[in-house]
Amino acid sequence: MKIDSGDTAWLLVSAALVMLMTPALGFFYGGLVGKKNVLSTLTHSFFILCLISVQWVLWGYSLAFSPDTGSGLIGGLGWVALRGVGFDPNPDYAATVPHQAFMAFQMMFAVITPALITGSFAERVSFKAYVLFSLAWATLVYDPIAHWVWGTGGWLHTLGALDFAGGTVVHISSGVSALVAAILIGRRLKTSEPHDATMTILGASLLWFGWFGFNAGSALAAGGLATSAFVVTNTATAMAALTWLTVSWIHKGRPSVLGMAAGAVAGLVAITPASGFVDVSGSILIGLGAGTLCYLAMQLRPRLRVDDALDVWAVHGIGGTWGAIATGLFATVAINSGAANGLFFGNPSQLLTQVIAVGATWIYAAGATFVIVKVIDLTIGMRVREHEESLGLDASQHGEIAYQLD
Amino acid sequence: MDVIALVAFGVLVVAWVVLPLRARATDQAVELEKAA
């Protein structure tokens, strides 16, 4: 099989763009926490970049993408430590790029997904518990769900579920897990106000930039489909940011700047599963829905008394769910002839398939996360002690502080 | 779908023109200026 240099260059650049998203997430989250917990929040993203980079090449990629074990649930161990993952293309995944380039691109998805969850338990979880949780979650939740949806022989892949860049695999899995983790770990002793909105805006901007690699890179080739994914990603994101700002203006009387940033992220999340299947009008409706639904979901937090500190469930869980369902509504073969039409284009069965994929991901992610958090809590404990939480995690967990202002 | 998308964007544009900025926002700005 012949390697295409243009496709390979695009995929490697896309992998680098997606890599940037994880530290960008750290900045997005870091601005939203109190100033005693900035470094720990940044570390939650940066450390995972390191941790999962190693986990992925050792066993994560094999569990997610190596040939199915026969159940449709998990890949085998044949590709452990990248044995057999070389420089020839693997036509099952990407026929024109080296297999290792595809692996590296997927690695960055595996990296950011557990990092998304950390926003829910910010400012109160011990570093040791976070490390164990992230490693266990990546292995027991992310790798299987990635196999279900994207792996050869995965059961949702076989069923025909459409998820171009990770609405179910990345966003529903992390968003639902975030909610479960927040419930089990409990509320912070004292909630914080965002200590640096500028940091959050910077993080959101870098996330938007990196997301072009996430979605347009998922075309796995430099061509028309990547271009379409790029355009609808930008359009849905802009529409969601505008919608969130407007809804918050109607609700609270002022156009919220942080709301606009959160709306942009909600739009990025929602367009992710649909980005290779919908046209521009579909992307505008997806952005409109994301800005509205995620804002409403965020208003539920104080009523539910669940301390999902940085609203991971509202943005990623609900945004991902809307995006996956909307894919079943707005997908069209005019954009991607290798996929399927959605309800609005005469194929209602695709909507049912999307609902099954969403439901399965919600149930499995919630159940597995419950077990992981409970086991860690019963052994080494998830939370820091009260005086450590009061002191802040930067000082109590890392012995450093973010700002020397004197 | 094209018409719905166009109408949705139009509604947002109209909203930005007609929505009032609550007085409290202005008061806050004055307070922030004083503090600075």
How far, CA to CA in Å, does A304 sit from each of A31, A182, A187, A291, A363? 24, 11, 12, 21, 20
Q: What is the pLDDT of residue B21?
A: 77
Three-state secondary-structure class, residue A383: strand
Q: Averaged over A24-38, what is the pLDDT?
A: 97
Q: What is the pLDDT of residue A403?
A: 93
pLDDT over 60 at A296, yes or no: yes
> What's the gap in Å between the CA of B1 and the closest CA on chain A?
6
CB contact B5 to A (< 8 Å): yes
Are A217 and A17 in contact, with CB atoms under 8 Å apart?
yes
CB contact B17 to A (< 8 Å): no
What tokens appear for A61 in the block? 């990629």
Confidence of residue A406 (pLDDT cuts 50, 70, 90): low
Return the amino acid letter for A164. F
> What's the gap in Å between the CA of A247 and the closest CA on chain B?
9
Cα–Cα distance measured from residue A274 to residue A283, given in angstroms and rounded to the nearest whole number: 8
Q: Averaged over A33-53, what is the pLDDT?
A: 97
Q: Which residues of A fall within a CB distance of 8 Å from B15?
A: 246, 249-250
Cα–Cα distance measured from residue B4 to residue A205, given in angstroms and rounded to the nearest whole number: 28
Q: Which residues of B fall within a CB distance of 8 Å from A249?
A: 15-16, 19
Q: Averaged over B29-36, what is the pLDDT?
A: 71
Q: Averaged over A262-288, what is the pLDDT?
A: 98
> What's the gap in Å between the CA of B24 and the closest CA on chain A?
9
Contacts of A115 (CB under 8 A, 6+ apart): A22, A25, A26, A44, A45, A48, A49, A134
Confidence of residue B20 (pLDDT cuts 50, 70, 90): confident
pLDDT digits (tens, 9 = 90+) for A78-119: 999 999 999 999 999 999 999 999 999 999 999 999 999 999
**B1–A254 C-beta distance less than 8 A:** no
Please name the member of B5, B24, B25 whose beta carbon is closest to the beta carbon of A284.
Answer: B5
> What's the gap in Å between the CA of B9 and the closest CA on chain A?
8
Please name the member of B5, B19, B24 whose beta carbon is closest to the beta carbon of A250.
Answer: B19
Computed from CA positions of residues A209, A44, A99, A277, in that sequence, does the dihedral angle turn out positive or negative?
negative
Q: What is the pLDDT of residue B34?
A: 73
What tokens appear for A161 in the block? 């579920």
CB contact B2 to A (< 8 Å): yes
Q: What is the DSSP string of A76-97?
A: -STTGGGTT--SS-BTTTBTTS
Are A247 and A40 in contact, with CB atoms under 8 Å apart?
no
Contacts of A195 (CB under 8 A, 6+ apart): A31, A33, A34, A35, A38
ipTM: 0.80
Length of chain A: 406
Please name the member of B12, B19, B25 whose beta carbon is closest to the beta carbon of A243.
Answer: B12
Q: What is the pLDDT of residue A366?
A: 98
Q: What is the pLDDT of residue A286?
A: 98
When mean pLDDT is compared across A266-280, A330-344, A392-406, the lowest value belongs to A392-406
B1, B13, B18, best to mutate vs chain A, most A CBs in 10 Å? B1
Cα–Cα distance measured from residue A44 to residue A41, given in angstroms and rounded to the nearest whole number: 5
Contacts of B26 (CB under 8 A, 6+ apart): none
pLDDT over 90 at B36, yes or no: no
Q: Which residues of B fall within a CB distance of 8 Å from A250?
A: 15, 19
Contacts of A50 (CB under 8 A, 6+ apart): none
pLDDT digits (tens, 9 = 90+) for A191-225: 999 999 999 999 999 999 999 999 999 999 999 99
CB contact A250 to B (< 8 Å): yes
Q: What percent of chain A has pLDDT over 70?
A: 100
pLDDT over 90 at A1, yes or no: no
Q: What is the pLDDT of residue B35?
A: 74
- In chain A, whose CA is at the least distance from the CA of B6? A281
Q: Which of A230, A233, A209 is nearest to A221 (CA)?
A: A230
pLDDT over 70 at B24, yes or no: no
pLDDT digits (tens, 9 = 90+) for A147-162: 999 999 999 999 999 9
CB contact B18 to A (< 8 Å): no
Cα–Cα distance measured from residue A21 to residue A115, given in angstroms and rounded to the nearest whole number: 10
Q: Which residues pair with A383 in a beta bridge?
A: A125
Q: What percent of chain B has pLDDT over 90?
A: 39
Q: What is the pLDDT of residue A31?
A: 97
Mean pLDDT value across chain A: 96
**A285–B8 C-beta distance less than 8 A:** yes
HSE-up (13 A, CA, CB side) for residue A267: 33
Confidence of residue A404 (pLDDT cuts 50, 70, 90): confident
Q: Which residues of B fall within a CB distance of 8 Å from A293?
A: none
pLDDT digits (tens, 9 = 90+) for A367-385: 999 999 999 999 999 999 9
CB contact A330 to B (< 8 Å): yes
CA-angle at A122, arms to A270 and A137, nearest 5°: 65
A232, A247, A248, A254, best to mutate vs chain B, most B CBs in 10 Å? A254
Q: What is the pLDDT of residue A400?
A: 95
Domains of chain A, first to last: 5-398 (1.10.3430.10)
pLDDT over 60 at B23, yes or no: no
**B25–A253 C-beta distance less than 8 A:** yes
When mean pLDDT is compared across A116-120, A261-265, B12-16, the lowest value belongs to B12-16
Are A75 and A53 in contact, with CB atoms under 8 Å apart?
no
- What phi and psi, each to the nearest 5 degrees, are found at residue A292? -80, -55
Strand (E) positions, A18-109? none
